[in-house]
């Protein structure tokens, strides 16, 4: 009896699985129609489940909107995680990085041009400012007011040159 029952259960398992596969593959005109009442009731339940769980189409606009919102959340979280993971650098480390050789020829040229522009601006300021106003205080210690501003400018230019050469080395 139990063997018979077991073989019936196996038959029901197979029949229902096959019906479900065909139904979910949208086989046209497929209806619960088994002659066996137990199997037919199960087929009807599967058809109801398909209507509830598998049939309703998802709204593509809703999916797109949700996906965009989720991506924004991911980007925000990723930025926060990356910022938190980056170790805090000391002033000396940051200075070393800044003084380190520039990574590419292009950025070396950009840096060089920037430094030359700063130096030229300083030179122009010194040449066109009134002699008694800005840099004049430097000359008060020696009394030679014309010498010190020029010396400071020359020192500045030298410093600029050294930094540029340092950053330019490959």
Among the residue ranges 4-12, 108-116, 129-137, 156-164, the one whose residues contact other proteins (CB under 8 A): 4-12
Closest CA relative to residue 20, chosen from 47, 58, 59, 51: 47
The residues near 47 (Cβ < 8 Å, ≥ 6 apart) are 23, 31, 32
Closest contact distance (angstroms) between CB of 23 and other proteins is 10
Among the residue ranges 12-20, 88-96, 112-120, 138-146, the one whose residues contact other proteins (CB under 8 A): 12-20
Decide: is 117 part of the binding site for other proteins (CB under 8 A). no
Binding site residues, other proteins, CB under 8 A = 9-10, 12-14, 16-17, 20-21, 24, 41-42, 45-46, 48-50, 52-54, 56, 58, 62-63, 66-67, 69-71, 73-75, 77-78, 81-82
């Amino acid at each position: 009896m139990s063997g018979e029952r077991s073989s019936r259960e196996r038959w029901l398992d197979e029949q229902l699985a096959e019906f479900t596969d065909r139904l979910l593959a949208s086989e046209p005109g497929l209806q619960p129609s088994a002659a066996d009442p137990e199997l037919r009731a199960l087929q009807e339940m599967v058809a109801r489940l398909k209507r509830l769980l598998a049939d309703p189409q998802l709204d593509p606009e809703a999916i797109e909107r949700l996906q965009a919102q989720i991506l924004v959340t991911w980007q925000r979280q990723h930025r926060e995680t990356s910022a938190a993971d980056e170790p805090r650098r000391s002033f000396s480390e940051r200075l070393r990085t800044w003084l380190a050789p520039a990574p590419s020829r292009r950025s070396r040229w950009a840096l060089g041009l920037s430094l030359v522009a700063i130096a030229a601006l300083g030179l122009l300021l010194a040449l066109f400012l009134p002699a008694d106003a800005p840099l004049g205080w430097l000359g008060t210690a020696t009394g030679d007011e014309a010498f010190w501003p020029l010396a400071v400018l020359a020192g500045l230019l030298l410093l600029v040159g050294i930094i540029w050469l340092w950053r330019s080395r490959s």
